[in-house]
Structure 1
Amino acid sequence: MIKRIHVLEDDEDIRYIIGVLLKDEGYELQLSSSFDELKSKLKDSVPDLFILDVMLPDGDGTDICTDLKTDAFTKHIPIIVMSANDKNKERSIAAGANDYISKPFDIDYIVKRINKLLN
């Protein structure tokens, strides 16, 4: 069964790179650039994994992580939080993130982290 990953990233270039990378790995993708867009897409289908950026135009990724981890429909789904500021690592883990990845990230590293959470 193909695993679906929802990527919430406001930077178009990073969203594109992650999208190409994960499609090449055989994952199905949902891409969002805002929390509102993510919430709208969750009405259609729930992913197997979330990847959340911290700095977003309509929210903070750690707050979104907390929301997802306290919602009955999404609390079981693994979450990876990404940030260019390593000060966000502790906040992300405290918010319920299953993993944290620093930007810029190594492509092979992010694939290994995703595979670990999904297998």
Structure 2
Amino acid sequence: MKKRIHILEDDKDIGYIIEFLLKDEGYDLQLSSSFKEMKKKLKDSIPDLFILDVMLPDGNGIEICHDLKNDMFTKHIPVIVMSANIRSKQMSEMAAPDDYISKPFDLDDIENRIKKLLA
């Protein structure tokens, strides 16, 4: 069965690049460009992994990660937080993500981190 990944990224170009890479690797993807959109999509299905951007139009990926890790229905799901802001890595540690990716990122690195978390 295909692993499902939910990508919360408001930058369409970055979302497209990640989507292209992961679909090519055989993952089933859900994409959201806002927290509101993500909440709506989670009502239909829960993914096997979350990738969350930090800076969003209606939320903060670090706070969303914290909420996911403290919810009994999602706390077991790996979360990758990604940001271009170097301070976000330090701030995200309190939210306990399973991994952190700095932008700009290496596509092979993202793929390897995802495989490791879903193994």
Give TM-score scaled by structure 2 length.
0.98
Give a deviation string over 1:56-100, Cα, whole Å, max 9, x none.
Answer: 000111001011111111111000000001111122121020000
- Paired AA for residue 42 in structure 1: L
SS in 2 for 1:108: helix
- Paired AA for residue 34 in structure 2: S
* Structure 2: 5+ residue stretches without partners: none
Moved more, 92-101 or 28-37: 92-101
Percent identity, aligned pairs only, is 71
- The reply to whether residue 56 of structure 1 matches residue 56 of structure 2 is yes
Count of residue pairs the alignment pairs up: 119
Map 1:18-33 onto structure 2 (within 5 A).
18-33=18-33
Regions of 4+ moved over 4 Å: none
Contact kept? 1:80, 1:99, Cα under 8 Å: yes
- Paired AA for residue 48 in structure 1: D
Give TM-score scaled by structure 1 length.
0.98
| RMSD (Å) for aligned C-alpha atoms | 0.6
- Paired AA for residue 51 in structure 1: I
- Paired AA for residue 73 in structure 1: F
Matches of 1:38 and 1:53, distance apart in 2: 12
